[in-house]
C-alpha cells in the first residue's frame, strides 16, 4: 500500500477530513436545540434507530459474514457498544440540558488526551515527556472552559452539571477507543458498527420505557423532526463513512487530528443557529487545548500509533 500519509491533500481528501468534525459538531448543536422537546434516552433511541435503517443496506453483508468473530471478541464488542454508542451519546444529550453546545464541543477536544492517559495507566502504552506536557496544557484549557474562566469555581468545585456529565461521556469514549483497538482490524468496521448499534438499541429500549414514565418526546414541531433526521444520518452514518475513507487515504494520525476542528465548527454553528454568546474564556480554553494538541502531536510523537 502506498504511503499516502505523507502525500499532499487534494480537495476531495480535505473534504473527507473536514466533514466528520463538522457533522459531529452539528450533533451537539442539534442535540442542544431539541433538548427541551426530546428527552436524552428518546433522542439516543431515535438517533440509532435511524442510523440502523441507513446502515442496513451496505452493512448487513459484512455483519453476517463476521458474526462468528463478534462472539469471539464478545466482551470487547459489548464494551464498545455500551461505552461508545450507548453511554457516550446518552450522557452528551443529558449534559446538553444544563450546559451550552459550545462548551460541550470544546470539552470533546480533550478525548484524545484521556485516551493517552488511560492507555498509559491500563495498557502501559508509552507517554513521552512532550506528550505529557501537551496533556497538561490541554488539561489547563479544559479547566478554563468548565470553570468559565473563574478560578473560584475550581476552588469550590462549583461546575455546571452539564460540564461534569459531558466529561463522564468523554471517559466513556476513551474506554471505547482503547477497547476498539483490541478488536482485530480484519473485522469489517461497517458491520461491526451495525452490531454495536443493535446492542445499543437493545440497551436503550428498557431505558426508554423507564424514561417514558416521567417525560415524553414532543415531535410536533417540523424543526424538531429535521434535527432528528440530521442526527440520525449525518453524524451517525455519513461522518463515520467519511472518516473511515479518510483514514485509508492519509492514515489514522493525520485523519484524527481533524477531529479537533470540532470546537471551531461548533462555536460558529452555536453562534449562528442557537444565538449563543461566545465568551473570552471559551476562546482562551480553545487556544490552550489546541496548544496542547500541537505539543502532543509533534514530530516525535506523531508516529506513536494509530488512533
Cα–Cα distance for residue pair 127/135, rounded to 1 Å: 10
User: For the residues 120-140, what does the mean pLDDT come to?
Assistant: 78
Most confident of 48-57, 168-177, 276-285: 48-57
Higher pLDDT, residue 123 or 233: 233
Q: Quick one: cell of 214?
A: 416521567
CB-based contacts of 7-12 (< 8 A; 24+ apart in sequence): 7/250, 9/250
Give the model's pLDDT for residue 198.
96
pLDDT in tens, 209-218: 999 999 888 9
Cα–Cα distance for residue pair 151/144, rounded to 1 Å: 8
Q: What angle do CA 287, 288, 292 make, to 5 degrees?
A: 115
Q: What angle do CA 181, 29, 56 make, to 5 degrees?
A: 50
Q: Is the pLDDT of residue 145 over 60?
A: yes
Most confident of 5-9, 136-140, 157-161: 136-140
Instruction: Report in angstroms the alpha-carbon separations of 148 from 101, 134, 230, 278.
Output: 14, 21, 30, 11
Burial label, 235 (beta-carbon count in 10 A; 0-12, 13-18, 19+): buried
The pLDDT-based confidence of 303 (bands split at 50, 70, 90) is very low
Least confident of 88-97, 166-175, 212-221, 249-258: 249-258
pLDDT in tens, 229-287: 999 999 988 887 787 677 667 655 456 667 777 777 777 777 777 677 777 887 888 88
* Average pLDDT for the chain: 81
DSSP secondary structure of 34-77 = TTTTS-HHHHHHHHHHHHHHHHHHHHHHHHHHTHHHHHHTHHHH
CA dihedral (230, 254, 105, 144) in degrees, to 10, reads 180
Higher pLDDT, residue 10 or 24: 24
Per cent of the chain over pLDDT 90 is 30
Q: Is the pLDDT of residue 1 over 50?
A: no
The pLDDT-based confidence of 301 (bands split at 50, 70, 90) is very low
Stated as kind and residue range, the H or E segment containing 119 is helix 111-123
Secondary structure (3-state) at 251: coil
Most confident of 2-11, 225-234, 235-244, 293-302: 225-234
Give the model's pLDDT for residue 6.
46
CB 88 within 8 A of CB 180: no
Cα–Cα distance for residue pair 185/242, rounded to 1 Å: 18
Cα–Cα distance for residue pair 236/171, rounded to 1 Å: 20
Instruction: Report in angstroms the alpha-carbon separations of 284 from 278, 279, 290.
Output: 11, 9, 10
Cα–Cα distance for residue pair 248/291, rounded to 1 Å: 27
Higher pLDDT, residue 247 or 306: 247
Give the model's pLDDT for residue 227.
92
CB atoms inside a 10 Å sphere around CB 248 = 12
Q: Quick one: cell of 265?
A: 465548527
Amino acid at each position: 500500500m502506498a504511503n499516502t500519509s505523507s502525500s499532499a491533500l487534494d480537495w476531495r481528501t480535505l473534504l473527507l477530513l473536514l466533514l466528520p468534525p463538522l457533522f459531529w459538531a452539528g450533533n451537539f448543536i442539534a442535540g442542544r436545540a431539541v433538548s427541551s422537546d426530546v428527552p436524552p434516552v428518546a433522542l439516543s433511541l431515535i438517533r440509532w434507530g435511524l442510523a440502523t435503517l441507513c446502515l442496513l443496506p451496505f452493512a448487513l453483508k459484512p455483519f453476517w459474514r463476521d458474526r462468528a468473530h463478534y462472539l469471539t471478541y464478545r466482551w470487547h464488542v459489548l464494551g464498545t457498544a455500551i461505552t461508545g454508542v450507548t453511554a457516550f451519546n446518552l450522557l452528551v444529550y443529558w449534559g446538553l440540558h444544563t450546559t451550552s453546545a459550545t462548551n460541550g464541543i470544546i470539552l470533546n477536544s480533550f478525548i484524545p488526551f484521556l485516551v493517552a492517559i488511560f492507555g498509559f495507566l491500563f495498557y502501559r502504552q508509552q507517554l513521552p515527556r512532550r506528550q505529557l506536557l501537551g496533556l497538561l496544557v490541554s488539561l489547563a484549557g479544559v479547566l478554563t472552559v468548565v470553570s468559565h474562566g473563574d478560578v473560584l469555581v475550581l476552588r469550590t468545585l462549583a461546575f455546571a452539571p452539564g460540564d461534569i456529565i459531558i466529561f463522564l461521556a468523554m471517559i466513556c469514549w476513551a474506554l471505547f477507543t482503547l477497547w476498539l483497538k483490541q478488536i482485530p482490524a480484519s473485522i469489517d468496521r461497517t458491520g461491526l458498527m451495525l452490531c454495536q448499534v443493535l446492542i445499543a438499541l437493545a440497551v436503550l429500549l428498557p431505558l426508554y420505557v423507564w424514561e417514558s414514565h416521567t417525560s415524553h418526546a414532543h415531535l410536533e414541531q417540523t424543526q424538531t423532526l429535521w434535527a432528528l433526521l440530521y442526527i440520525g444520518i449525518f453524524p451517525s452514518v455519513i461522518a463515520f463513512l467519511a472518516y473511515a475513507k479518510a483514514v485509508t487515504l492519509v492514515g489514522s494520525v493525520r485523519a484524527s487530528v481533524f477531529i479537533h476542528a470540532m470546537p471551531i465548527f461548533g462555536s460558529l454553528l452555536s453562534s449562528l443557529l442557537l444565538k449563543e454568546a461566545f465568551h473570552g474564556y471559551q476562546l482562551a480554553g480553545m487556544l490552550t487545548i489546541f496548544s496542547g494538541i500541537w505539543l502532543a502531536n509533534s514530530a516525535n510523537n506523531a508516529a506513536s500509533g494509530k488512533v
